[in-house]
Amino acid sequence: MGKIDFLNKKEQPQSDNSLEKNTEPYIGDLNKTDILFKLVQTPQTERDEKWQQTFLDNIGQASFRCGDPQVITGPDGFPYFQLFLPEPNKSFQCFVIDKMKDDFLLTSGFGVAINPTQQGVDWVLSYGDILNLRLNNTFYTNTETAFSKETNDETIAENEEVMIGQPSETILPKQTRQLIDKFLKSRGVETPKVLLMMRHRKNGNGVSQEIVFNLTPKNFKDESTYRSVMQTVSWYLPRHYSYVGMDEENLGDGFMPL
């Protein structure tokens, strides 16, 4: 969780006016920065769950310096803002993830790579991880939620009762919808649409929900492309979300453009 191979990262500077929106200097928590300094001395092979949780508990408010270039394209093709722990006794421009998320990360569609080097990376946060910090004050939600954890194609059984609506701002904010819309259009989907579907759980205990996109294999040249696009959508969503593709005809007028 949170780590991908950055050994062969593509360094690609990106110009974005949203990076200039913040006019006040960031002020991070140097105590948390010091904790991170000590944590990263632990060899990768010895970083257990306690290490990971302590790391995650401190990176949001800690002080970082940026890389040069600030933004790189990871091996997964997504843009990541590079953050490094400051060097001892050297001045630096402070960056704080908790402030950056609202200033430009979520608007620009960036993830974050922490201490990426040719030898590896200490942590990687997807856009969806940053979004979850904004919505739920944590990078990863591990408690039970209404989401069913489905990420496959879905069908509605005959006589099955479902409720449909639109995802609220607290589930899928406008800026995230716009980024997913742009991505899907770049993959040839003319009018990407979305809805929120609620249905009775298969075990009969309560109601589950899924984000539904108007995507099926027929929207793409082959099923492999469809599967790849659906998998890529997950980068924009918190990891506990469930999302599926479904034909528009199955849900009438419930879909709305992203």
Q: What is the pTM of this model?
A: 0.88
Task: Provide the β-strand partners of residue 163.
Answer: 198
**Can you say whether the dihedral through the CA atoms of 93, 98, 103, 107 is positive or negative?**
positive
Torsion of CA 58, 59, 62, 65, to 10 degrees: 160
Task: Write down the pLDDT at residue 161.
Answer: 78
Rounded CA separation 94/30 (Å):
11
Let me know the angle formed at the C-alpha of 189 by 215 and 131, rounded to the nearest 5 degrees: 75
Rounded CA separation 71/112 (Å):
9
Rounded CA separation 8/116 (Å):
11
Rounded CA separation 215/188 (Å):
11
| Contact between 240 and 225 (Cβ < 8 Å) | no
Give pLDDT tens digits for 130-173: 999 999 999 999 998 989 766 556 566 556 678 999 999 999 99
- What residues have CB less than 8 Å from 111, skipping those under 6 apart? 74, 78, 79, 80, 81, 124, 125, 126, 127, 129, 130, 235
Nearest to 194 by CA among 229, 161, 167, 225: 167
Task: Write down the pLDDT at residue 13.
Answer: 40
Rounded CA separation 96/29 (Å):
9
Torsion of CA 120, 122, 128, 129, to 10 degrees: 170
Give pLDDT tens digits for 238-258: 999 999 999 988 887 899 999
Region(s) of the chain under CATH 3.30.70: 162-257
In order of 21, 79, 108, 146, the CA distances from 16 in angstroms are: 10, 12, 7, 36
Task: Write down the pLDDT at residue 199.
Answer: 84
CATH, range 162-257: 3.30.70
Task: Write down the pLDDT at residue 203.
Answer: 62
Stretches in the chain below the pLDDT threshold 70: 1-23, 149-160, 201-204
**Can you say whether the dihedral through the CA atoms of 105, 111, 117, 121 is positive or negative?**
positive
| Contact between 3 and 123 (Cβ < 8 Å) | yes
